[in-house]
Amino acid sequence: MLRLVTTFLLCAITVAFAGSKVLHVSTIPNNADIYIDEIRPNHAKNPAYVSPAFIEAADDSLASEILISLFTPGFMDTTLRVRLSPKDTSFIIISQQPILDNEFLERQEAELSKRKRANFGKGLMKISLIPFAASLISGAIAYYEIEQAKDCKKTLQNSAIVTDRYQNTRDDFEDYRDNAKLAKKFTYASLITGAALLSIGFILSF
């Protein structure tokens, strides 16, 4: 039994400390977009990493290569297959070649503009959750105020004598009714705002 427990502990320790292979990528200049396993990546999409970066190999610790593609405005696109060291961590420094071709530069700028537009659209879609949440809250408030107004109305209809309590109930009825109208307007406005942001964000994100 003791031998079994010892064997289990040794296996657990081995798994815990058996790190997967990692590639450290540095570029000149820094802040290059890094795409993984894509020969011709779509630069309009966000990269997997930005240099300098530590890139973990596939789950298989026996992986021997990583395909990386670099993108930096004003520099040539670079794609290369990096052979990993048998050790845990490999290092590579890539010096990117400047490009002066105006047509190539314009194409890069167009890709970046599309990426920025897509990211802005995704941001709008996330922001649209705020007015949608506000509409749910105001809708719940409107429902509560309407139900309170209904109760007051029933009380007024069942009152045969006009007393101070009758007048107070009437005042409460009017307050609940006005609050319900205001909450309903806010609900509709929030829904329209949320739908507009979601629609615009959806269009821009593609």
Instruction: Tell me if the pTM is above 0.75.
Output: no
Three-class DSSP category at 183: helix
Share of the chain above pLDDT 90, in %: 50
In Å, how far are 46, 74, 123, 136, 193 from 127, measured between CA atoms?
20, 33, 6, 15, 10
* 3, pLDDT greater than 70: no
pLDDT (0 to 100) of residue 160: 60
Q: In 3D, which of 104, 103, 83 has the Cα closest to residue 92?
A: 83
Q: Which two tokens stand for residue 117?
A: 């537009």
What are the residues whose beta carbons fall under 8 Å from the beta carbon of 164, sequence distance 6 or more?
A: none
Q: Which two tokens stand for residue 186?
A: 């806010």
Contact 96, 32 (CB under 8 A): yes
Helix and strand numbers, DSSP H then E, in the chain: 4, 7
What are the residues whose beta carbons fall under 8 Å from the beta carbon of 193, sequence distance 6 or more?
A: 128, 131
pLDDT (0 to 100) of residue 19: 56
> Taking residues 10-18, what's their average pLDDT?
41
Q: In 3D, which of 53, 60, 54, 55 has the Cα closest to residue 18?
A: 60
Per-position DSSP letters for 160-173, written without gaps between them: -S--HHHHHHHHHH
Tell me the pLDDT tens digit for each residue of 52-82. Answer: 999 887 655 556 788 999 999 999 999 999 9
> Taking residues 118-140, what's their average pLDDT?
93
My answer on whether omega of the bond before 29 falls inside 30° of 0, hence cis, is yes
pLDDT (0 to 100) of residue 101: 86
Tell me the pLDDT tens digit for each residue of 147-201. Answer: 888 888 887 777 766 666 777 878 888 888 888 889 999 999 999 999 999 999 9
Tell me the pLDDT tens digit for each residue of 133-146. Answer: 999 999 999 999 88
pLDDT (0 to 100) of residue 7: 39
